[in-house]
Amino acid sequence: MSSRWKGRVYLVAMDSGSLFDAEDAGLVKAVSVGEEVLFAAVPPGRYLAQLKSDFDGKGVQGRAVVVIPGQESTVLFSDGDEEPVFLTGQVEFGGGSLIGAKLSLSSTRWESKPGYLVVRLDDDGRFEGRLPYPGTYSARIDSSFGRLHKATISLDSGVQELSIQIPSVNICGNVKTAEGRPVLGAEVHARSVSRTVETMWTDRFMSAETDREGHFCLAVPLGGEYRLSTGGANEFRQGPSWNRYAEASLIVSAAADAEVELVLEEPATASGRVLDLDGSPARASIYAKRRDMPGAEWAQAGYSGEDGQYEARFLGRGPLYLVARVERNGLQPRSSQIVAVDLSRDGPGARIDFQLHPAAYVIVEALGAGQDLQAVRAEARSRCEFGEIDLPISSGNNHRLQYEQKLGPLPVGDYVIVAEDVEGKQYSWTGEVSGGRSVQRETLEAR
């Protein structure tokens, strides 16, 4: 019996994702390897039983697949005859950042020898952890940029030193003004626009800052196409820097080290008026999202005053989605229709008026039983001419395999909201967003 394996036990239905927690039910407080755990009042079906360690905080330490026929059943966790794997190692990623990255290892023989480990890398890429069995494991490395690397590795019993090299490419270049002057301190972002290495999601980015000569250099995972742009952390930058920076972007094929040049543009503007439900002027926030950059995030670009008049400024002159929203505390949320504009075609000083409609926030959650369920984005498509909305779904409480995100506020109407996990499995909800309440909660079901 091993004290390192003392922890809490959960049963997760592999079909519906329903969760049963033995501790919450008051049946057991903790278990160790070799102990039997009783679950009562559990419907018949196929379940994934998990022993989550409370000793070292490294997540799920034991798993077993069980079939419950309908009467009282027991689940036994055991080390077996094989020695565990004590893992140490380092991940190397050229000049790329690994801050906040994590390594996930999952057994390829899940039915007979379930083993799983998720460990966060330190700033130097080093890690350590424990796996219950030797054997073959699927390794994944994820960061705020998305999936950086995937590989299959073999591990023996005992202490193992593992070194993982992420194939990378350097993208270097210069940022200049239209007059040819170098720009000091410009932030340059590289976003993936193709799904490679299982994928780097396009709402994430790598970044670097230019030196006195306007030069920058950053590392990205090898393979795929990237869009480079200058500007702040958000796609739309506000404040004094508006007069100094604008966006410039291009596609780079990362098959080898690349050299690029970014030439800054002046910011584009849009102005107009926001009207409330009764036609009176409304104070609202103006949000914008790039249409030519899938996965780009909504960001505030301006706001209207007491007279309903606004002026919004954007980096670049490309195609955008614009929307006006009222989200102040104590007020029923309201939102305009989503307007599609192309400032390169409609002009840098386009005039766009907004009419507000009743709206509601929608909290969606996706439930599933697989260890790879990581809902990463959702699309809401309205059949009431409100356009298309792309928003991320972020992971929630990992051991409960539950993921949720607050969307909106969305104008009232009929919607289909779709989420996708890393294996390509989709989850969806179809229904009506009503304006009778400010927040409504919906569950995404497997399609």
Judged by DSSP in three states, 3 sits in helix
Query: Which of 77, 129, 89 is CA-nearest to residue 106?
Result: 129
Dihedral (C-alpha) 119, 123, 124, 127: value to the nearest 10 degrees? -10
Of 96 and 120, the structure prediction assigns the larger pLDDT to 120
Q: What are all long-range contacts of 385-390, with beta carbons under 8 Å and residues at least 24 apart? A: 385/337, 386/337, 386/338, 386/410, 386/411, 386/413, 387/321, 387/337, 387/338, 387/339, 387/340, 388/321, 388/338, 389/338, 390/289, 390/294, 390/295, 390/296
Provide the pLDDT for residue 309: 95
Counting residues of the chain whose pLDDT is more than 90, the rounded percentage is 7
Judged by DSSP in three states, 291 sits in coil
pLDDT in tens, 99-113: 778 888 888 876 556
Q: CA 429, CA 447: separation in Å to the nearest integer?
A: 9
Classified by CATH at the fold level, domain 267-447 comes out as Immunoglobulin-like (2.60.40)
For 85-165, CATH gives 2.60.40.1120
Bridge partners of residue 92, in order along the sequence: 165
**What are the residue boundaries of the structural domains of the chain, listed by start?**
3-76, 85-165, 168-263, 267-447
Provide the pLDDT for residue 356: 93
Provide the pLDDT for residue 274: 96
How much of the chain is helix, strand and coil, in % rounded to 5?
5, 55, 45
CATH topology identical between 85-165 and 168-263: yes
Provide the pLDDT for residue 50: 62
> Per-residue pLDDT averaged across 14-20, rounded?
54
Of 426 and 210, the structure prediction assigns the larger pLDDT to 210
DSSP structural state of residue 93: -
* Residues in contact with 299: Cβ distance below 8 Å, sequence separation at least 6, in sequence order: 234, 235, 236, 287, 288, 289
125 has pLDDT over 80? yes
Query: Which of 317, 354, 322 is CA-nearest to residue 338?
Result: 322
What confidence category does residue 353 fall into, taking pLDDT thresholds of 50, 70 and 90?
very high
Q: CA 32, CA 46: separation in Å to the nearest integer?
A: 23
Give the homologous superfamily in CATH for domain 168-263: Carboxypeptidase-like, regulatory domain (2.60.40.1120)
Q: CA 142, CA 161: separation in Å to the nearest integer?
A: 20
Estimate to the nearest angstrom the gap between the alpha carbon of 253 and the chain centroid. 24
Bridge partners of residue 154, in order along the sequence: 136
Q: CA 390, CA 380: separation in Å to the nearest integer?
A: 7
Bridging pattern class, strands 354-367 and 439-446: parallel
pLDDT in tens, 253-311: 656 677 888 887 766 788 999 999 999 999 999 988 877 765 566 778 889 999 999 98
Counting residues of the chain whose pLDDT is more than 70, the rounded percentage is 54
> Per-residue pLDDT averaged across 115-123, rounded?
80
334 has pLDDT over 70? yes
* Residues in contact with 367: Cβ distance below 8 Å, sequence separation at least 6, in sequence order: 16, 17, 18, 401, 402, 403, 443, 444
Of 1 and 225, the structure prediction assigns the larger pLDDT to 225
What confidence category does residue 187 fall into, taking pLDDT thresholds of 50, 70 and 90?
confident
Average pLDDT, the chain: 69
pLDDT in tens, 167-183: 888 888 998 887 888 88
- 198, amino acid identity: E
Q: CA 132, CA 107: separation in Å to the nearest integer?
A: 10
236 has pLDDT over 50? no
pLDDT in tens, 370-405: 434 444 444 555 433 333 444 433 333 333 334 566
Provide the pLDDT for residue 239: 35
Q: CA 351, CA 356: separation in Å to the nearest integer?
A: 17
